[in-house]
Every structure is written in structure tokens, then in C-alpha cells.
Amino acid sequence: MTLIKLRGVNVDFPFTPYSCQEEYMRKVIECLQNKVNGVLESPTGTGKTLCLLCSALGWRENLKDKISDRKIAERMDGVELFPDRPMSSRGTAVTNKDTPTYDTDIPKIIYASRTHSQLAQVINELKNTFYRSAI
């Protein structure tokens, strides 16, 4: 597995990604961070499915870490466990008011496809990633 950082998010990818794959994942994360829809395209055989899965699930893990760090700080009455480190183990502390603060605020990722065989392919791709526990 290769760990890459895109837009402040750690993404585990099964191998070293090509530059077009990194750019695709960067755009997916940008859309998620900005809470906007995205229309992304790439030629057949460039690994779109794997890029979409890994970037979206990496972003979700990052968000989950930020929520966990905030909950720990709240339980300690604002006293930080590690004052010399950022609140999030994967980035900087979350400070804006739109940030979720509860586990239920973590978005669910729903992957839709036109055919059952395409969904089976997605599951097989997911099984080969760090994020296989999401199945």
C-alpha cells in the first residue's frame, strides 16, 4: 500500500498512483471538502473506480479522525492530551462552525451502478484496498 497526502487527506492506495490518478483523487477530495457535486471523467482503464473508492474513503476516515479528536478534547474539558501536536492526527485542528461533532455526522458513502456486474467489480476492487473493512 502507498500512503499519499492529497489536500490534507491521507489516502491509502494499493500501489504508487500515476499522476492522472492523483489528480482524479485530488478532485474527488476537493468536491467532498467543498460540499459540491463533481463531474469527473477519465479514459477507460485509468483506474477511476479505485481512485474514487480510495479518495472518498480516505476523506471519510480523515473526517472521522477529526470528530474523534474533538470529542476527546470535549470530554477533557478543553484540556488537550497532546498540546504540542495538532488536534487531528491527519492534519490541522478543525475550527469552523460547519464541522460535524458527532459520529452520526459522518456521511455515509453510497456507491450506485447501472448493473450488478459493475457492482461486483467495485466490491472486488475494494477488497484489494486498505479500506476493505468498509464492506
Strand-pairing partners, residue 13, are 2
Has residue 83 been placed in a domain?
A: no
* Residues with Cβ within 8 Å of residue 86, at least 6 apart in sequence: 92, 93
Strand-pairing partners, residue 12, are 3
Has residue 33 been placed in a domain?
A: yes
Has residue 124 been placed in a domain?
A: yes
Q: What is the extent of the structural domain holding 60?
A: 1-71+111-134
> Which conformational region is residue 10 in: left (phi greater than 0), alpha (psi within -120 to 50 degrees), or beta?
beta
Has residue 52 been placed in a domain?
A: yes
Has residue 84 been placed in a domain?
A: no
Alpha carbon distance 70, 67 (integer Å): 5
Band of residue 40 on the pLDDT scale cut at 50, 70, 90: very high
Convert the pLDDT of each residue in 73-123 to its tens digit: 777 766 655 566 554 443 444 444 555 555 567 888 899 999 999 999 999
SS3 19: helix
SS3 1: coil
- Per the model's pLDDT, the better-predicted residue between 73 and 22 turns out to be 22
The amino acid that residue 107 corresponds to is: P
Q: Mean of the per-residue pLDDT values for the chain?
A: 84
Alpha-carbon distances of 85 from 7, 78, 88, 96, rounded to whole Å: 19, 14, 8, 19
Looking from the CA of 45 toward its CB, the CA atoms found within 13 Å total 0
Domain count for the chain, please give it. Answer: 1
Has residue 81 been placed in a domain?
A: no
Q: Is the pTM of this model over 0.85?
A: no
Alpha carbon distance 48, 85 (integer Å): 35
- Per the model's pLDDT, the better-predicted residue between 58 and 76 turns out to be 58
Nearest alpha-carbon partner for 108 in 63, 50, 73 = 63
Measured from the Cβ of residue 81, the count of other Cβ atoms closer than 10 Å reads: 10
Band of residue 33 on the pLDDT scale cut at 50, 70, 90: very high
- Per the model's pLDDT, the better-predicted residue between 96 and 67 turns out to be 67
- pLDDT at position 72: 73
